[in-house]
Structure 1
Amino acid sequence: MDAGLINKVDLLKVGHHGAKTSSDEKFLEVARPEISVISCGENNSYGHPSPEVIQRLAAIGSHIFRSDTSGTLHFETDGEKIWLKEQKNQILNAFL
C-alpha cells in the first residue's frame, strides 16, 4: 500500500459490514482511523463484523462503533471535533 495515496483519516465507514476482507492490515496501518463505524445487522447469518476486522481496528487504537450494538449512529462535526449521537439523540462523546 502506497502511504502517499492515503492520508490518515478521522472517521472510517468500514466496508462490507466488517467482512474479514474489507479492511486489511496494510490499509489500516496507513489510514489509522480515529473512529471506525461498522454497519451490520444484529445476529446476521454472515457473522459480520468478523472478529479479525475488530481485532485489526483495536490493534491500531481505533474507537469502534457498530450499528448492531448501538442502533442508529449519527456523527456530526464542526470541522475540528466529531460528536456521536445514538438513536436517542444523546451526545455520547466528542473526539479529536
Structure 2
Amino acid sequence: MLPVQHKWESKHGVTLIGDAAHLMSPFAGAGANLAMLDAAELGLSMMNNSDLDEAIKEYEVKMFEYAGEMAAVTKSSMEIFFSQNAVETLSEMMNSHAEG
C-alpha cells in the first residue's frame, strides 16, 4: 500500500497506471476501476495534447486527485475491518445501507 496522496515528480516520456501508480488496500474494491479510468484519462490526454510530456502531466494531475480520494476511502475501510469492533461496525453499515 502506498501512502494516501502519494505523488511523484513527472518524468519525460513515462508514467504509471493502475496498481503501479496507486497501490492501495482492497477494502473498497476500486483497483480495476481505477486502472481502467487511468487508461481512459491517459488516452484522452494524449489525444488532446500534441506534446507527450504535457499529456502525461495533465493525466497525472487528474489521477493523483481521484486516486488520492479513493486511497483515503480504502484506508478508512481497512481500519474498520481491522478494528476491535469490526463486526458491529460492519453490521451497522450493512443495516444502514439496506434501509437507505
TM over 0.5: no
With the shorter chain as reference, the TM-score category is under 0.3
Greater Rg, structure 1 or structure 2? 2
Higher fraction of helix: 2
RCO higher in 1 or 2 (8 Å CA, sep ≥ 6)?
Answer: 2
Q: TM-score, normalised by structure 2?
A: 0.27
Please give the TM-score of this superposition, normalised by the length of structure 1: 0.28
Instruction: Answer 1 or 2: which has greater strand percent.
Output: 1
